[in-house]
């Protein structure tokens, strides 16, 4: 039987005992072998020529070739954009010239998707928030957590990176005619909807989400600088203004930071603790080495981000049997969040790699600035490695700096050691690995898993990313929302009822209570048998909905399938007339 333990192949440490091995040597060997494998497998998942992407059109990044248990043979805007950002970065580092054609296929594919009518709307009514599509670039019309507002800013970030390269190499016509229109649509969507809730990156909670807010802020900052570069000063000012508003939102207007417990609350809704890989991913994907350890943008080496990392990692120490017996100052396998039940709730390769990457980013900045700082907020993080350390600033010439830096490097590589332990011998990476056995689980050959290994390796190797303008930012003294104009939508349904029965309404957006029968909107029976309710809904918003019947005993009867769908007007009011079915 094929061993599931990559470390058996390496022969670098025992899987039977908890004897502490040398994670630095293991990480060195793992990356040396795994980076070419991850690269090959990532490219295999990009159409049309990828070995596992049959049926995908040019430039389409499939999430996974898995078609059942689960079916991930789709393209998600978020995942595709994160993967393509990695591809673009590698191309611009002169690692592989053949990647250029993939990038240049990706941009027109995204331009086509932007214009495609879908369940979230069209290009002017919120359709850019549609999270996933079929790999032949047709809309996915099944029920899903929509809209998701992280896709457009992530796509803008990736394409702006390439667009700057095109300008640097004397191709302004290509940028203005073909690339800028794609970027602008995403930036305009982000500027308009950043203050409107949507589903988080795990597609489960509809609320404000740290990852989404952080990515939106970065996209508008980069977008403003790019707009200025191509002679669009009015747009640049508009994007900068909304970026400032988001920064204020991140720091002051929403309780993302939990000061009493020292972690970032990843979602403002959902009923969970909020301790979530969402926050780790938000920090590493908004890393700007020019900003140092700035807590304003939750940079990876900031005291808040380090405190948050400790709380996040510790949340998994006692829930996964494969972590049992690991000392509290050593790395463990991590998942999305402790309450996770998807596929039974297991560790993920990409989240464990993200923990390592945050630490590699921190190490890079400490080396660049020549010191590290311990504050009362980050003290618990650093005392994992030196229980006598005190708050203060430690220069790179001090013994404390040497001890802490070496311990953090060791700690970071331990996360890679964990991944190596549960990587199959062929180097393939699924979405998850079993909490008890370490066996790969869920979607096979997950593209994002491969990308996470490549970005962690780049950070470990000291590849300095381009600044996106996070340095020296100040939180505005007054937070301003970007209120989306509202329209009045009257829902009117003809329904015969018995004594004690009432008609309610729920649907796919916040205004319709996100499919919650408990919080569904009550309709008035004053014009019986016509039941009515008027709801304020953001203009130009596509939504799905159903009426439900609540009986006197509290039981609920839903209308028959499929879900109804409609959209709010661009202004004014609208009445929707239905009959119970």
What's the average model confidence in pLDDT over 46-66? 96
Residue 580 scores a pLDDT above 80 = yes
Higher pLDDT among residues 90 and 255, named by residue = 90
Report d(CA 201, CA 212) in Å as an integer: 8
In CATH terms, is domain 21-55+292-466 a member of 3.40.50.9100? Answer: no
**pLDDT on residue 484:** 77
**pLDDT on residue 11:** 39
Going by pLDDT thresholds of 50, 70 and 90, the confidence category of residue 253 is low
**pLDDT on residue 6:** 42
**Residues 59-106 pLDDT 10s:** 999 999 999 989 999 999 999 999 999 999 999 998 889 999 999 999
Going by pLDDT thresholds of 50, 70 and 90, the confidence category of residue 198 is very high
- In this prediction, what percent of the chain has a pLDDT beyond 70? 96
Residue 14 scores a pLDDT above 50 = no
Tokens of 115: 């214009």
Residue 10 scores a pLDDT above 60 = no
Residue 9 scores a pLDDT above 90 = no
Residue among 203, 425, 480, 501 flagged as catalytic = 203
**pLDDT on residue 254:** 65
Residue 329 scores a pLDDT above 90 = yes
Residue among 200, 340, 544, 578 flagged as catalytic = 200
| Feature table: binding site for substrate | 144
For 57-254, the fitting CATH number among 1.10.645.10, 1.50.10.10, 1.10.287.3510, 3.40.30.10 is 1.50.10.10
Residue 12 scores a pLDDT above 80 = no
**pLDDT on residue 20:** 62
**Residues 127-165 pLDDT 10s:** 999 999 999 999 999 989 999 999 999 999 999 999 999
Give start-end residues of each CATH 1.50.10.10 domain in the chain.
21-55+292-466, 57-254
Residue 331 scores a pLDDT above 50 = yes
What radius of gyration, in Å, describes the C-alpha atoms of the chain?
25
Residue 377 scores a pLDDT above 90 = yes
* Averaged confidence pLDDT in the chain: 93
**pLDDT on residue 189:** 96
Going by pLDDT thresholds of 50, 70 and 90, the confidence category of residue 125 is confident
**pLDDT on residue 106:** 98
Going by pLDDT thresholds of 50, 70 and 90, the confidence category of residue 428 is very high
399 is catalytic: no
Which fold is adopted by the domain 486-579?
Immunoglobulin-like (2.60.40)
| Feature table: binding site | 144
**pLDDT on residue 570:** 85
Residue 13 scores a pLDDT above 60 = no
Cβ atoms of 568 and 491 within 8 Å: the answer is no
Higher pLDDT among residues 334 and 538, named by residue = 334
What's the average model confidence in pLDDT over 515-537? 95
Give start-end residues of each CATH 2.60.40.10 domain in the chain.
486-579
Report d(CA 76, CA 151) in Å as an integer: 8
**Residues 257-282 pLDDT 10s:** 999 999 999 998 888 999 999 999 99
Report d(CA 459, CA 476) in Å as an integer: 31
- In this prediction, what percent of the chain has a pLDDT beyond 90? 87
What's the average model confidence in pLDDT over 503-509? 93
Long-range CB contact pairs, 110-118, < 8 A, 24+: 110/59, 110/77, 110/155, 110/159, 110/182, 111/178, 111/181, 111/182, 112/137, 113/77, 113/137, 114/182, 114/185, 114/186
Residue 579 scores a pLDDT above 70 = yes
474 is catalytic: no
Distances (CA, A) of 467 to 65, 166, 184, 218: 34, 17, 20, 10
């Amino acid at each position: 039987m094929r061993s599931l333990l990559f470390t058996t192949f390496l022969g670098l440490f025992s899987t039977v005992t908890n004897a502490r091995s040398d994670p630095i040597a293991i990480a060195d060997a793992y990356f040396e072998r795994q980076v070419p494998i991850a690269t090959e497998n990532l490219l295999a998942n990009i159409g049309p020529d990828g070995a596992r992407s049959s049926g995908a059109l040019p430039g389409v990044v499939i999430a996974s070739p898995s078609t059942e248990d689960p079916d991930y043979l789709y393209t998600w805007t978020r995942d595709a954009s994160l993967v393509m950002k990695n591809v673009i970065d590698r191309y611009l580092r002169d690692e592989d010239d053949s990647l250029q054609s993939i990038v240049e296929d990706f941009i027109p594919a995204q331009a086509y998707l932007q214009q495609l009518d879908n369940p979230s709307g069209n290009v002017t009514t919120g359709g850019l928030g549609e999270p996933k599509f079929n790999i032949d670039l047709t809309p996915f019309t099944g029920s899903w957590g929509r809209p998701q507002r992280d896709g457009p800013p992530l796509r803008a970030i990736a394409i702006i990176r390439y667009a700057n390269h095109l300008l640097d190499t004397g191709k302004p016509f290509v940028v203005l005619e073909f690339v800028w229109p794609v970027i602008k649509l995403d930036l305009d969507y982000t500027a308009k909807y950043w203050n409107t809730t949507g589903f988080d990156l795990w597609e489960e909670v509809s609320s404000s989400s740290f990852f989404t807010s952080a990515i939106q802020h970065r996209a508008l900052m980069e977008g403003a600088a790019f707009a200025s570069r191509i002679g669009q000063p009015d747009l640049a000012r508009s994007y900068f203004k909304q970026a400032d508003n988001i920064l204020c939102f991140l720091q002051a207007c929403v309780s993302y930071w939990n000061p009493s417990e020292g972690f970032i609350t990843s979602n403002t809704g959902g009923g969970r603790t909020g301790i979530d890989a969402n926050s780790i991913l938000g920090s590493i994907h908004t890393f700007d080495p020019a900003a140092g350890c700035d807590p304003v943008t939750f940079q990876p080496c900031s005291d808040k981000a380090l405190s948050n990392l400790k709380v996040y990692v510790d949340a998994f120490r006692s829930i996964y049997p494969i972590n049992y017996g690991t000392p509290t100052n050593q790395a463990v396998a991590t998942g999305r969040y402790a309450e996770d039940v998807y596929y039974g709730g297991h560790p993920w390769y990409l989240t464990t790699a993200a923990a390592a990457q945050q630490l590699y980013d921190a190490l890079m900045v400490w080396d660049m600035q020549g010191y590290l700082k311990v504050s009362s907020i980050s003290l618990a993080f650093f005392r994992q490695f030196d229980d006598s350390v005190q708050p203060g600033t430690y220069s790179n010439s001090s013994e404390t700096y040497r001890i802490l830096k070496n311990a953090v490097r060791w700690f970071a590589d331990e996360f890679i050691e964990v991944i190596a332990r549960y990587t199959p011998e062929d180097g393939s990476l699924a979405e998850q690995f079993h909490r008890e056995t370490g066996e790969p689980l869920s979607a096979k050959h997950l593209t994002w898993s491969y990308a996470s290994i490549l970005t962690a390796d780049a950070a470990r190797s000291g590849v300095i990313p381009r600044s996106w303008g996070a340095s020296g930012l100040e939180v505005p003294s007054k937070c301003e929302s970007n209120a989306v104009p509202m329209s009045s939508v009257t829902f009117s349904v003809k329904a015969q009822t018995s004594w004690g029965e009432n008609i309610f309404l729920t649907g796919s957006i916040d205004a319709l209570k996100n499919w919650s029968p408990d919080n569904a909107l009550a309709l008035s029976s004053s014009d019986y048998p016509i039941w009515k309710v008027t709801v304020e809904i953001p203009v130009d918003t596509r939504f799905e909905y159903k009426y439900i019947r609540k009986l006197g005993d509290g039981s609920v009867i839903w209308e028959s399938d499929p879900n109804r769908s409609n959209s709010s007007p661009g202004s004014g009011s609208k009445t929707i007339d239905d009959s119970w079915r």
